Structure 1
Amino acid sequence: MAEARSIKVEGTGLRNGVAEGPNKFVIYASEKHDVSKIQIGFDGPGQPECRLNTKKDKSIDVTYTSPVAGEYKIHVRYDDKPIPGSPFKCKIIGDVKGAVDKVKASGDTKEGKVNVNNTILVDGREVGILGGLSGSTEGPSKPDFQFKQNDDGTVAAVYKPTVAGNYKITLKFQHYNIPGSPFTVSVK
């Protein structure tokens, strides 16, 4: 018999998010679980709208939109029993543009190396932005970004250009550029 304690949950939307924006996390159930017994609830200053999308592998993409900023608790239960870690404390912030303006970037923002992982460290801990970033590059090659959540709450934006030259690196939270973005990076 499947139990609540064997269900795992991951995603930045469990710890932080933005009001009026999509916030996401994923529930990982096994083949033994009846996904219809999974329940999600919120305690906080507003009642978020929540959408669930169950995939073939029984993982569930959860997207919720909170009408107001504030401190929330997200309850995830299976068969009326809390899963490990539930309830999750989540900070929803309001003024997205104002919050993004307080994000700091450091690392390889001016110079990079070809065929090497280059890292821009993004620090949004002051305003509760711990993930949800997107990135793009313009230049001689089109390296993809990988975003790694660090233990200290910062995010490493890692890219590996394969051709030397000048690149325009854009990092965003939702549709707002973080301060300094786009970065002009000389890759040698």
Structure 2
Amino acid sequence: MARAGLTAERLTQAAADLADEVGFENVTVSALARHFGVKDASLYSHIRNAHDLRVRLAVLALAELADRVAAAIGGRSGKDALVAFAGAYRAYAREHPGRYTATQMALDPDTAATSAAGRHAELTRAILRGYDLWEPDQTDAVRLLHSTFHGYVSLERAGAFHSHPRGVEASWTRVLDALDSVLRAWPAL
């Protein structure tokens, strides 16, 4: 019999909180069971295994990030939308490091198609329309932006920028200025 009060949603939310505390890679069924004061077996009526738990966590994190980005870019276009998108993305990664790591998990095609993963690309495409970019350039620009945001956030989280006297905020602003310039002057095929 399932322990009263435990649901897949509650377990996923607790796993997300745990990921932010101890790191996504340390989220296990055992750690989650300890959090609830139950045996591991009590969780298996709600989740299939550790992989299922991590997928649920990734789907939750993708939805949270997409919601945050959508709220940030609403009513904006061009550079304002780009800066708002980037700021929301970076803030989420800073505030929720374990969940952010979960957003990078490779999902099977069916899960990816029904999750917020597609919303991220669509939100990016929405800001790119302000730069008058269309396919196939949009796909290339989506990849450029996501690579840049993820790379910057990952290096910043790893402490890679802290040994240089130039502040990370100043560099972030310049990166966004450069991206705006690149997008406005996107080369024709």
TM-score bracket for this pair, using the shorter chain length: under 0.3
Between structures 1 and 2, the one with greater strand share: 1
TM-score (norm 1): 0.27
Q: TM-score, normalised by structure 2?
A: 0.27
Higher RCO (CA < 8 A, seq sep 6+): 2
